[in-house]
A and B are shown apart, each in its own frame.
Chain A
Amino acid sequence: MLNLPSLIPFLIALGTAPLLLGVIQRTKAITAGRQGQPILQPYFDLSKLLRKGAVYSRTTTWVFRAGPLLSLAGLGTALLMVPWGSVPATIAFSGDFVLVLYLLALGRFFTIAAALDTGSSFEGMGASREALFAALTEPIVFAVLITLVRLTGEMSLTNMYQQMSLILRSASGAALILLIVIMFVILLTENSRIPVDDPTTHLELTMIHEVMVLDHGGPDLAFILYGSALKLWIFSALLAGLILPVYTGNLLLDGLAFLSGMFGISVAVGVVESVMARLRLLLVPHMLIGTTAIAAVCIYLTLG
């Protein structure tokens, strides 16, 4: 089941995930007419944070220290099962998509628990918002994956995404377009990008995700930043496989197509962040329920 060459995509993903964040930042800078930070800035940040020490408040318990570690562990394990478009993932088995989603949920659970453990009211507020949005996005992601299962007849992510090029030639083109739209919204929501949340904001009242990690510092913060890069990679990978359903059989070509898709998505995220304002907080659930409606249409389409 596990052989060494199949680890290569996983290792490349581990190495290049922070680059996606760099590409988003650079796109935003260029659109705004600035030169912007170096494209490798996330790596510099990570190495700086890893060399620092961590300070822990006396009111926190082991939950606070375990949060970043467990969250990163969950994301890293999930990454093992996410295919590169039609290039198979390191591990694939029937029903692995459920495990991927719940590993992400596990990571989120510990981030929320760590935020609550600090006893800060701001962090509690952020945790509550994060939990609300997570509860609203989970059924949408499942609806997308159920639709893919129905369309391809496969139960593992790797097989599903290998069948993707066949869907394109079948009559389900309408469903595929809807799925791409939905996955893009999910990508923005789950990674707290702009229409939903602003990763660069520093005003506690408007923060959602960032407010939960205010008390983490040093290596813990590095784990969290790296974890968010991995999460961006995972969701971009799920989207890239839908946008570029390439299946040539040549692993190198497929991999290159996939990588170009990944960085294309990062550029698109950067452009969306540059041209859109943040939604009012109350409008986010409205948007997510609307996305659920589209996802429901996808499921019903495949039932016919």
Chain B
Amino acid sequence: MQDLLFVLLILTGFVFLGSGRMQFGIRTVALQGILLGLIPLLGNLQDLWARLTALAVLSLAIKGMVLPYFLTRAMHKSKALHEDNPFVGFTASMVVGIICLGGSFWIASRLPFIDSSQPKMAVAVSLFIVLVGFFVIISRRKALSQVLGYLVMENGVYIFGVAFAVDVPWLVELGVLLDVFVAVFVMGIVIFHISKSFDHIDTDQLSSLTG
């Protein structure tokens, strides 16, 4: 069952790489957040079920509902409905994604495992999702796309966390969620202000600003 979730996560990664519509991208990231929330519930719960369930519900609420809501608002306010002219095209992005996927599986197959009961696929998937996030941050122009890329990257880190570190302190997990929440909140405000002062949110133009 967990394998199916990991496959779906990989597919959301590709959908994210291949689409230029902001609304669609936001929904993809929200779906990714919901899938992430389900991973710990389908795994080996053992005696930690209360903690894991609380974490899953929290992450579902924040990543699947609150953040998409903020981002949709930022999108409408900055009128950035579409990524018009990315540095790397959408089809080429998917080719890069295929290469990243291969690289992630290769690295994951070479990592030594202490405990063989852990899902091997989780490492590959989390690396892949992190790489997708990175790639979107460097290859898109609009600030909103870059925020989405940041979120995807964080999702990748989270996959690694839920799949492996059952013993990560509860406080750390909550801290990460809070950080992401605040970061997206702040970035939403920044996007709004950039678009208010410059009529657009193309970040590559920021370098021409001089004091």
Which residues of A approach B to under 8 Å, CB–CB?
171, 173-174, 178, 285-286, 289-290, 292-294, 296-297, 300-301, 303-304
Contact = CB atoms under 8 A, between A and B. Distances in A.
Contacts of A297: 7, 10-11, 101
Given A178-B7, A297-B10, A286 B91 contact: yes
Nearest to B97: A293
Nearest to B15: A290
Q: How would you classify the secondary structure of chain A's contact residues: helix, strand, loop or mixed?
A: helix
Given A297-B11, A304-B120, A304-B121, A171 B3 contact: yes
29 contacts: A173-B4, A174-B3, A174-B4, A178-B7, A285-B91, A286-B18, A286-B90, A286-B94, A289-B94, A289-B95, A290-B14, A290-B94, A292-B94, A293-B14, A293-B18, A293-B97, A294-B11, A296-B98, A296-B102, A297-B7, A297-B11, A297-B101, A300-B101, A301-B3, A301-B7, A303-B105, A304-B105, A304-B120, A304-B121
* Nearest 8 CB-CB pairings of A with B: A293-B14, A300-B105, A286-B91, A289-B94, A296-B98, A174-B4, A174-B7, A289-B91
B14 A294 contact: yes
A173 B94 CA distance: 25
B101 A296 contact: yes
Contact of B98 (A173, A293, A301): A293
Interface in B73-110: 90-91, 94-95, 97-98, 101-102, 105, 109
Interface residues of B, number: 20
Interface in B159-179: none
Contacts, number: 47
Contacts of B11: 294, 297
A255 B169 CA distance: 59
Contacts of B3: 171, 174, 301
A296 B4 CA distance: 15
B148 interface: no
B71 interface: no
A173 B7 CA distance: 11
A294 B91 CA distance: 14
A290 B90 CA distance: 10
A290 B12 CA distance: 11
Contacts of B95: 289
Contacts of A171: 3
Given A292-B98, A293-B18, A304-B121, 10 more contacts: A178-B7, A285-B91, A286-B18, A286-B94, A289-B95, A293-B14, A293-B94, A296-B101, A303-B105, A303-B109
A223 B4 CA distance: 45
B60 interface: no
Interface string B117-133: 00011001000000000
Interface in B2-26: 3-4, 7, 10-11, 14, 18
A9 B95 CA distance: 40
A289 to B, nearest CB: 5
Contacts of A303: 105, 109
A119 B75 CA distance: 51
A178 B10 CA distance: 12
